[in-house]
Structures are given as structure tokens and as C-alpha cells.
Structure 1
Amino acid sequence: MGVERPQGDGELAAIPTGWFLYRGTGRPQQDPQLADRLPPPPPWRSFNGGPTLIPPSEDLAELDRRLGPVKGRPGRTPDAREVMAVNAALCLRRPLLVTGPPGVGKSTLAYQVSRELRLGPVLRWPVNSRSTLHAALYDYDAVARVQDARLSETEPDIGQYIQLGPLGTALLPFETPRVLLVDEFDKGDLDLANDLLDVLEEGSYQIRELFRARTRTPEVDVHTADGQTVRISHGKITCRAFPFVVITSNGEREFPPAFLRRCLSLRMPEPGPAQLAELVQAHFDRAAEPYKDRIIGEFLSYRRRDPVAADQLLNALYLVINGRESWSEQSWRPVLDVVLRWRDEANEE
């Protein structure tokens, strides 16, 4: 069955609809589950983890906080190439590397896909210079276990001291893909991309502490990053539906060629006036109407001089809307100076 597709380049109009599942509408689809519509993976990206798990329900409050309520137009209408990149990554079971300047909606894309395809809560791995692959997979609190053992006559259950990280949780054998947001990956250590290669290629990893004890305790219940409890057999986890992985980068450095070959790439441009207006409407509905066009115009003027992000526009409008009783050009211009120039001053330090 065909689906509604974004209007855009002529070459995209002829794309078969069999793997065109994400439409970029900003609204949850009411079609059958994604597992019934997603084409089978390529043989080299097929995984057989089990037993199969059902993903938890969407975190509707978090989606509303990130994207605005589901009503009217979506908060940001994606262009045709963005929609194509998302669908290709889903179909090929490959990570999507999303680059672009700060504030253009790179992280938001993960939440948009999660909402529309109803893939459950987004698992977020915020990367910094101290981030490690091990911590993203799982954490084992050996100290707490030793301390509890001293107070107990029996050996504590090792699973109570193991917490899967966002990446480790995303690679559980779920029936449908989980959404994993690897945020600001370029802030990580230089070796982090190479460390991640094998896990993303194999779709599996070992919990060393459980693998060593597999003959004594072959099955152990552990905690996940989203508050669930799952049973692990013989200390190894293999995915079934490879997660939809969005890796964001501000372009602060290059990644190894081997890493780039295993990802699909998407460059997101700065949003134009129409996209900014949609973003404002999604978060403020009609409350911003008296000020929207004027404030967006001023925002674009700032952006021509210095880098500013869309969330700064939302901050400025929030202050203007909540001070509407005394609103005037003399009152909102200092607001813009404070909110928008704050980033300029931060960049100068």
C-alpha cells in the first residue's frame, strides 16, 4: 500500500513505498505495528536475539515537552531528503549520523521518529569527554555488592547490581526497534567512535561479570536504563530489531572513515522562517501570534551576524508572551538582547 510522502525533489517522487514508513507528519501513525510493515533486514544486518521483548509504551509527557502537543502542524516539517534518510536507516538497520549547527533540530529528530512510529521512550546517551562505551552498555556496582554481602548471610543476587545503559538497553531483543539518541558524539574521546564500531556491527555485547558466572547462574535479572527488569541468559545480549540510532554531531571534529562507512549521513541546515513559525506554533499555539513574525524577523537578523539556536527563539518568545501586559517594542528588544546575545558572549569566552 502506498503512503503519503513529502513533496520535494523529483528523484524522490519515484521512490517505492515499501520501505517508506516515516512520513515526517509529527503525529503518531494509526497503522499496524511497525514490526508488521518494516521490510526484513539485509542478510548482513539480521540478528536473532531472544526471547523477544515488547518495548514499553511511549513517554507522552516527554514527547510533548520535547516537541510540543500533538495538534495542528508538526513542530518542524522535515524536507524530503531528511525523510528519505530516516527511512533508509530504518530499512538498512544502520545508524544515522546527523550533523549541523547547534539548535537546528538534530536531537529532536529522534523524538519525532519515536512519536510518529510509536517506538517507545527514546533512550538518550549524552556524550562528553569522559564517556565510555562500557558505561553506555552497562554498569556493575561491585562495591555495593561487597558491602551488602558483609551484612547478609547469603550471597546477594548479582543482577541487582547491574544497570544497563542506554546503548545496552537499546540492544535488547525488542520486537520493534528502540530509538537511541547518541547526543553530541563529537564531544567524546577520539577513540570512542572506533570502540563503538564492533558493537554496532555485531548488534550484541557481553556483560563480563555474568558471562564468567554463566555456569553457576545461567539466567540473571538486571535493570534497564528505562526502569524495566529483563532476564539475561549466559551473560550475552543480542538484539533482534536493530535500534534506530541517531548520532548527532555539531561538526567539531572528523570521525574515522571506518565509522562513517557504517553510518548513513544527514546534514541538517538552519531552519528558515516557515520552519521557525511551525516550531513556535507547536510550543505556543496561538499565544505567540501577536509577536511571532516580529520576533522571528529579529531572530533571523541576529542569526545573520552570529550563531544562535532555535531554542533561544523559544526562550525569548516565552518571556515576551508572559510579559504581554507591558509589551512594546521598547520592552521586547532588551529581552532579545539578553537571550540571544547570551550565546554570543559565551562563544567569545
Structure 2
Amino acid sequence: MNDDWRIFTGTGTVHDGIKRLPEPPPWRRFNGEPVAKFDRTPSTPHGHRRTALATTYQADPDTIDLVNTALYLRRPLLVTGEPGVGKSTLAYAVAHELRLGAVLRWPITSRSALRDGLYRYDAIGRVEDASTGDAADSHLGRYLRLGPLGTALVPYAIPRVLLVDEIDKSDFDFPNDLLNIFEEGEYEIPELARIADTTPEVWLQPADHGPKVRVNHGQVACREFPLIIMTSNQEREFPSAFLRRCVRLDLPSPDRARLSEIVAAHLGVDRAETNEDLITSFLARRETGEMATDQLLNAVYLLDKASADGDRGAREHLAGLILRQLNSPA
């Protein structure tokens, strides 16, 4: 297969390849209006910490292909895997490389509801203002703010990146609640629909604090379906109807070669070469318990800064402080 089809390459090099994304399948075409704009600057999405993670992310070929599959098909990407394998970081890596601006992050809990992701309405603030005579319909926009999902579905000319983090922590019905939104690519804000006859146009603040977006008649419909990356620690099963609408990626725990590449990308090739013993210890502990890759990175960094290279006993002591199985008692 010719690699030219890949929009996301996984190299970390910023480019404008998103402009090569072909037209969607006929059943995934959306025509929301009016077209809105957002800041695509790679340096603005996540601050220094997120940018560092994005630029050093090590994507394997299957991950790259499945991200591109989701982009081409305009389908959500469900990413499963053990904690610490880079599920969330993948969203930041894609946004950084393709200049898709700030990642819209929606952390999920057992109390999360669909409306939380679409928009927030400050009804109490409006009631308080009404007591002073300052709650005209024309000002309703100041009591509403789009959520991360609601912002992702604004009719932008290029797709936004939405990270729905730890969706497996949601209420049982939550995945089914998302189905219609994912299929239709649009939603209604009832508070605005009710005043559409007198105030058809309202400007709302998006979740990323970017330029305000215009909402007509209380309806929001996407133009380019966002790249929705949903992460799961495999703590529950999802309905078949939900799964068939997703592109599915299972991130395996990295092997020795991948771990060396990850350490080299974050801390330098020399650190990877001089800490083979730590990688061996990490792999041995992972065989009998739950371990996260960032534990290895923390251990390598700590031993480097503590200058414990020459003392095997000191190295083992410091490594033991960090390399503890996550599912073992403290």
C-alpha cells in the first residue's frame, strides 16, 4: 500500500496535510453553517507539558493507520489499553502534527451527561440578573457556553480534535446517548430555540476560549466531523450499536524495543542505552502486575538526576521507589 494516503504520519513534524483529506463518504457529509474559524497554532493547544508529550509520542504503524481510517471515514476512534500506554496523548499528538489547534478535552465520570459536553447554561446567573432588569433575550448568550463536544461540532472548515477521556467510567446509558449526536453531527440548544423568533442569532463562547461562534435559531451542525478520540481502560463493555459506529484501536503495552524508543524520544538516546537494566526490571514487574510506561520514564529521570549510576544498590533502591505495580498494596 502506498503510504501517501496517510494524513497523520506519526512523525511529530507539523504540517498542513489535513488539507489533503478527501471528501467524506456520502453518508458522512455534513453542511453546517455559518463556517467558523479557530486558532490552529500548534503552540497554543496544551501548554509546554502537552506539547512536549505530543512531539515525542511514538505511534506504531497500526495506530497511524487507524487514526487515518477515523479521519477518512469521519468516525470516532475508540482507543483501549492499559493505563499509561499513551491513549490520551495520541489526541495531542494528532492535533499537534496536523495543526488542529487546542484539543477539546472532556473528562468523563459516572455523573457525566450528554448536555454537559454540549453546553452549559447559567440559569441562576440569569435569574439573579432578572431581578435587576438585566436579562433581555438579546443577552442570553452570556449565560450560555459551549462544552467540549458542543464546540467540536461547530461548523469549522477543518476538523477539531475532541478527547473523550475514560469513557468507560460513564453511566451505563451514556454511550447510547452519544449515538444520535455522532450520527447526525448536530444538536439543539433549547434555550436559544425558544427565542429564535425574536432573537435568531446569538454569539456563544466555545470551550477553548477561542473566537465566539454564531448560533442561528438554536441549532449547531458540524461541517467537518471532528476527530473524536475516546479512551477506555477496559473497565466495562460497550453496546454493539455503539461499537459498530466507532473505529477501534487497542494499544498494546510497548515491548522492549518500543520502550527504548520512548525513553530515547523523551530523555535522549544515551539515557535509553545506559538504562537497559531499568527497562529489564520494568518488563519483569509488568509480567506479574500492572505497570505504566511513565513509571519507567520517571525512574530513568530520577536515577539520572540522583547520579546513582555507579552504585548498583542505590540504583535498585531508587528504582524500587518508582517501579511499583499499580495493582499491588502500597
TM-score (norm 1): 0.87
**Tell me, which stretches of 5 or more residues in structure 1 are unaligned?**
1-13
1:66 paired with 2:36, answer no
1:83 pairs with one of 51, 64, 68:
64
CA distance in 1, matches of 2:60, 2:269: 25
Match of 1:159 in 2: 141
Identical aligned residues as a percent = 47
Per-residue deviation, residues 61-94 of structure 1 (Å, max 9, x unmatched): 6365236278xxx634323222211111101100
CA distance in 2, matches of 1:313, 1:306: 14
Contact 1:22 1:87 in 2 (8 A): yes
User: C-alpha displacement at 1:261, in angstroms?
Assistant: 0.8
2:254 is aligned with what amino acid?
P
Range that drifts further, 240-249 or 267-276: 267-276
Match of 1:221 in 2: 203
1:136 paired with 2:122, answer no
Range that drifts further, 51-60 or 208-217: 51-60
* Distance verdict in 2 for CA 1:344–1:21, change over 3 Å: same
1:317 pairs with one of 277, 300, 325:
300
2:34 is aligned with what amino acid?
P
CA distance in 2, matches of 1:272, 1:55: 39
1:108 is aligned with what amino acid?
T
Q: Secondary structure at the match of 1:101?
A: coil
Q: Secondary structure at the match of 1:151?
A: coil
Per-residue deviation, residues 298-345 of structure 1 (Å, max 9, x unmatched): 211211121100111122223222222786322232222222226233
User: C-alpha displacement at 1:155, in angstroms?
Assistant: 2.8
User: C-alpha displacement at 1:117, in angstroms?
Assistant: 1.2
CA distance in 1, matches of 2:135, 2:58: 58
Contact 2:308 2:315 in 1 (8 A): no
Range that drifts further, 235-244 or 152-161: 152-161
2:99 pairs with one of 109, 113, 118:
118
Range that drifts further, 291-300 or 242-251: 291-300
User: C-alpha displacement at 1:290, in angstroms?
Assistant: 6.9
Match of 1:100 in 2: 81
CA distance in 2, matches of 1:175, 1:185: 27
1:174 is aligned with what amino acid?
Y
CA distance in 1, matches of 2:259, 2:6: 26
1:212 paired with 2:194, answer yes
Report the count of equivalent residues.
327
Contact 2:95 2:103 in 1 (8 A): yes
CA distance in 2, matches of 1:162, 1:131: 18
Contact 2:152 2:161 in 1 (8 A): yes
**Tell me, which stretches of 5 or more residues in structure 2 are unaligned?**
none
Match of 1:305 in 2: 288
TM-score (norm 2): 0.91
Per-residue deviation, residues 260-281 of structure 1 (Å, max 9, x unmatched): 1101111111011222222223
1:182-331 residue pairs with structure 2 within 5 A?
182-228=164-210, 229-285=212-268, 288=271, 291-324=274-307, 328-331=311-314
Q: Secondary structure at the match of 1:112?
A: helix
Contact 2:129 2:135 in 1 (8 A): no
Contact 1:94 1:262 in 2 (8 A): yes
Q: Secondary structure at the match of 1:242?
A: coil
2:6 is aligned with what amino acid?
F
User: C-alpha displacement at 1:152, in angstroms?
Assistant: 4.4
2:242 is aligned with what amino acid?
F
Match of 1:46 in 2: 29
Per-residue deviation, residues 105-137 of structure 1 (Å, max 9, x unmatched): 111111111111111111111111111111011
CA distance in 2, matches of 1:153, 1:174: 32
User: C-alpha displacement at 1:15, in angstroms?
Assistant: 4.9
Per-residue deviation, residues 230-252 of structure 1 (Å, max 9, x unmatched): 11111110000100111111111
Contact 1:63 1:115 in 2 (8 A): no
Q: Secondary structure at the match of 2:268?
A: helix
1:181 is aligned with what amino acid?
L
Range that drifts further, 281-290 or 87-96: 281-290
